[in-house]
Amino acid sequence: MDRLDRRILDVLQNDSSVTNHALANAVGLSPSACLKRVKQLRQAGVIEREVALLSPEHLGLALHMVVEVIMERDHKTLYQRFLQRVEAAPEVTQCYQVTGEVDFVLIVLVPDMASYDRFCDNVLYSEPNIRKFRTLISRKRSKFETRLLLNPVEGD
């Protein structure tokens, strides 16, 4: 990946709906050369997918929870079972397996506390390998960024 690829990715991270012609103009390439590079970035897996970012508040998802989960036993099969349950839960928008005192950190979005209680009953309390979990209710989201830091290529 060279400097031009990184410029293309920078523009696409800001607005993936940009036309190929506008993208080519923004990075200083011909439209055909730009399209070829974007296709290569997709095929290489650098561009995983393109999505629309929705406003949780406009959709009634007013509560953002950070849930720390501590498992009873450290076993790969038990972790995979828990991950399957989490991946099937639409309330969970992010899941991280982490090191330290907790095993998983979940980001959960729900419209209200009753919905969160149902989530806890269906996903957390019903998992026998969870020793305990702690819920942090976000009062305000100060930063939410989907952009990845694109380090410059050495020699550019």
Report the CATH number that the domain containing residue 11 is assigned in CATH. Answer: 1.10.10.10
User: In DSSP terms, which residues pair with 104 in a beta bridge?
Assistant: 69, 97
Q: Which domain holds residue 71?
A: 57-137
* Model pLDDT, residue 28: 96
pLDDT in tens, 44-84: 999 999 999 998 889 988 899 999 999 999 889 999 999 99
Q: The domain spanning residue 87 has which CATH number?
A: 3.30.70.920
Q: Locate all alpha helices (DSSP H) within the chain, ordered by sequence.
A: 3-14, 20-27, 31-43, 76-88, 113-119
| Average predicted confidence (pLDDT) for the chain | 93
* pLDDT over threshold 60, residue 98: yes
* Model pLDDT, residue 155: 53
* pLDDT over threshold 70, residue 153: no
Tokens found for residue 53: 């970012």
* Statement to judge: residues 39 and 61 lie in one domain: no
* Statement to judge: residues 23 and 92 lie in one domain: no
Closest CA to 67 of 92, 100, 101: 92
* Statement to judge: residues 68 and 21 lie in one domain: no
Residue 126's pLDDT band, with cuts at 50, 70 and 90, is: very high
Q: Is residue 149 part of a domain?
A: no
* Model pLDDT, residue 152: 65
Residue 102's pLDDT band, with cuts at 50, 70 and 90, is: very high
Q: Is residue 32 part of a domain?
A: yes
Give the separation between CA 38 and CA 26, rounded to whole angstroms.
14
Tell me the pTM.
0.83
* Model pLDDT, residue 110: 97
* Model pLDDT, residue 7: 94
Q: Is residue 52 part of a domain?
A: no
Closest CA to 147 of 2, 15, 4, 57: 15
Domain count along the chain: 2
* pLDDT over threshold 70, residue 93: yes
* Statement to judge: residues 35 and 91 lie in one domain: no
* Statement to judge: residues 20 and 74 lie in one domain: no
CB 4 within 8 A of CB 35: no
* Statement to judge: residues 38 and 61 lie in one domain: no
